[in-house]
Amino acid sequence: MKKKIYQLCLLFFFISLSLFSSESEKITLLRETSYYPFEYVDDEGNPKGIFYDIWSLWSEKTGIPLEYRSLESFSEILDYAIEGENRVIGLLFYSPEREKIYDFSIPFYEIKTYLYFNKNIFGVKSLSDIRGFDIGVVENDFSHDYLLKNGFIDEIKPYRSTEELIKAAVNNEIDIFITDGPSANYYLEKNNGNALFKRMERELFRNNVYAAVKKGDSHLIQTINQGLSKISKDEIEQIIDSWGGIQQFSEVPWNYIVIGVFFFLVITIIIVLWNIQLQKKVRSSTNQISKQNSELLEKNKNLQKKELELEAVNKKLKNSLVEKAYLAQGMESILTLTSQLSLAAKEDRNNFLDSTLKLLVRIIPSADYGSISLFEGDNWKFISAIGHDIEKLREIHLKTNEHVNIDNTVIVDQIVEQDKQFIMKRHNAIKMEEATKPISSSMLAAIKIGEKKVGSMILDIDKHSDKRFTKDDIRLMNSFSNVASAFLGMQQYMIWQGKFQKELIIAMIQILELHDPYTKGHSENVANLSAALAEKLGHSKEYIQKIYWAGLVHDIGKILIPETLLTKPGRLSDEEMEKLRRHPGLGAKVLASSEELNDIVKAVKHHHERWDGEGYPEKLKGTRIPEESRIIAIVDTFDAITSDRPYRKSLSWEFAISEIKKNAGKQFDPEIAAIFVKFITEEWIVSKG
């Protein structure tokens, strides 16, 4: 009897454990109830929409169940996501402020956002034209943040959802609102509002769509990314097509209809009256008709003259509007470049400057050609050029004293001729003329780091063109040179910071090698092999660099372990082993005290955890162990086996590889272990001879 009770208890325990496990793996997807066609709830309470279909496909491809939680407002979604575990916002625009609260997935869609205004409001061409009006937005949406950043505070009228926002506009509570195009098109149609509102011709901004989770939940965001990477672009386009594509905004041109009808009636009345008058005058006198005909001819000449004057005024207005449009496009490009500056500073300098030049030539219509050059010591070198022959320019051995001396943005006519006559060495001036297109006028701006001039940006107008640079062009040139200066300054700072971090880590390793001679060379071996394995796994350069530094300092905690224990030739006692096992945690504390090394703390702390959860210091299991730690654990074991230790001589590579295979799925991540064994036998050992 007791045996049966015991068996029932065990059965109940395992069923509960299974239910708990499946429950903990379930992911809750947060979504809005009225954001058609992306996500909404139908009349029967079922979740629908483009993103519902995308996430259903995600669940199908990953095998992970999704629990859908529909909330009435966007603000509720933002708050609810950070109040619990395994909660995912299925649709969110990125911003630096949001990144402090959430971790973002890879992007998987793009949405355009527009400004809509009442048909009785005229002259709305940009954001600055709507100051003083009440502007409706969805509360805490990206549009809300966008207006705040642009200085709109008192004008903002927040609403809980897109549907509430459109209803408020149709009911004349607001005259202007900002929201995503497809949703606005649907709810305007639904509420008979298309005839009441116009839409600014160009989108206000466009954003990539991401999924987002509570900050720090790296395992969940990794799971989300793995699923999204399995969904192809064609599959997403098929989902959109199944919803009939994206509905376009249509408005009835009532203004033009009314004006057309008015002019038709006026012209009809004039023709009728004129016909009656002519008939009277024909009956009265032929001479009178001739006289009136002469007067009409004179009036017609005057009308033609006025028409020409109106055409001239219209041309000036059109040119002015074009200039303003180019200026607005330029300012928008500068904002985009500035917002991405910290990320771009980590990339190649020449690529960034080349992209900047191409963008500048595109948005300044007066420019036909352009170039960017930098000063390196006493040398003046060309980095990028448009129109000119960049290869020939790079072959010219120029000195900085041959460059035009500029402090502010200036316009110089016939710059190549002036170089030949006054500034540049004759043989260099001849080569410069051969490498460049014929130029009538050039606009030059200095690139500086602090007060030091480090280069220049130049835009040129073709010799046979009648175009001229404008004041707005000079303003844009100033702004772009400031962006280039900021980029180079930030990159210089990152180089200095990297050198300091490298020197700090090397100093710590030298101290460790003095304390424990058996670690000499071990740390560098682990660092190099970990970096090579991370590259084989397809990680980014930034990730590879991080795991290299983590591998270099993975045993730094041994500085705080007694030297006698580290160099003891015999077997360690249980008490001594317990002391030795403290070194990953001690190393993490040492590294956490330095802000420059803070991003490798977790990798060091958990490099002795085991896949089966029997490791230390926190007995983490499976993918809860940081991937960097799982990589270092395999490499550390391999190098330890093939190196001399206090208690034995080094063992063979073949033995080390067999140990890695034997403990895959127990001590080591099985997937990484398999890749490591293949890599070490087919590539690494071969390369080392």
CATH of the domain at 385: 3.30.450.40
Residues 608 and 645 in one domain: yes
- 84, part of any domain: no
pLDDT, position 487: 73
Q: Tell me, what's the pLDDT at 575?
A: 86
Q: Is residue 215 part of a domain?
A: no
CB 184 within 8 A of CB 101: no
Residues 581, 670, single domain; the answer is yes
User: Does residue 442 lie in a domain region?
Assistant: yes
Residue 296 to residues 287, 435, 570: CA-CA distances in angstroms?
Answer: 14, 63, 121
CA–CA distance, 117 with 424 (Å, rounded to integer): 57
Same-domain check for residues 464 and 585:
no
For CA atoms 432, 438, 440, 446, the dihedral sign is negative
Tens-digit pLDDT profile for residues 17-71: 343 333 445 899 998 888 888 888 888 888 889 988 999 999 999 999 999 888 8
CATH number for the domain spanning 561: value is 1.10.3210.10
- 375: CB partners within 8 A, 6+ apart: 381, 400, 403, 453, 454, 455
Q: Which long-range contacts does 495-498 make (Cβ < 8 Å, 24+ apart)? A: 497/596
For position 569, what pLDDT does the model report? Answer: 77
Residue type, 636: D
Burial class (CB in 10 A: 0-12, 13-18, 19+), 381: middle
Is 447 within a domain?
A: yes
Residue 313 within a domain: no
Q: Are residues 455 and 556 in the same domain?
A: no
Q: Over 90: is that where the pLDDT of 210 sits?
A: yes
Q: Is 461 domain-assigned?
A: yes
| Selected residue with higher pLDDT from 324 and 543 | 543
Residue 563: pLDDT above 80?
no
- 402 and 438 share a domain? yes
In the prediction, which pLDDT does 11 show? 45
Question: What residues contact 458, with CB distance under 8 A and at least 6 apart?
Answer: 370, 371, 372, 373, 415, 442, 443, 444, 445
Give per-residue pLDDT as tens, 125-171.
888 888 888 999 999 899 889 999 998 988 899 999 999 999 999 99
* Confidence grade of residue 568 (pLDDT, cut at 50, 70, 90): confident
Q: How confident is the model at residue 544 (pLDDT cuts 50, 70, 90)?
A: very high
How confident is the model at residue 662, as a pLDDT?
Answer: 94
**DSSP letter assigned to residue 645:** B
**Contact by Cβ (8 Å): 173, 166:** no
Highest mean pLDDT among 288-297, 410-419, 450-459: 450-459
| Mean pLDDT score, 425-438 | 85
Instruction: Choose the most confident range, by mean pLDDT, from 95-104, 429-438, 493-502.
Output: 95-104
Domain that holds residue 437: 342-491
Select the more confidently predicted residue: 552 or 300: 552
The neighbouring-strand residues paired with 218 are: none
Q: Which residue, among 408, 415, 358, has the nearest Cα to 383 in the 3D structure? A: 358
pTM higher than the cut 0.75? no
Q: Are residues 527 and 439 in the same domain?
A: no
Query: How many domains in the chain?
Result: 2
Helices 670-679, 653-662: crossing angle, 10 deg rounding: 160
Q: Are residues 580 and 620 in the same domain?
A: yes
Mean per-residue pLDDT for 282-291?
68
Q: Do 650 and 532 fall within a single domain?
A: yes
Q: Which residues contact 254 (CB under 8 A, 6 or more apart)?
A: 119, 195
User: What pLDDT score was predicted for residue 535?
Assistant: 93
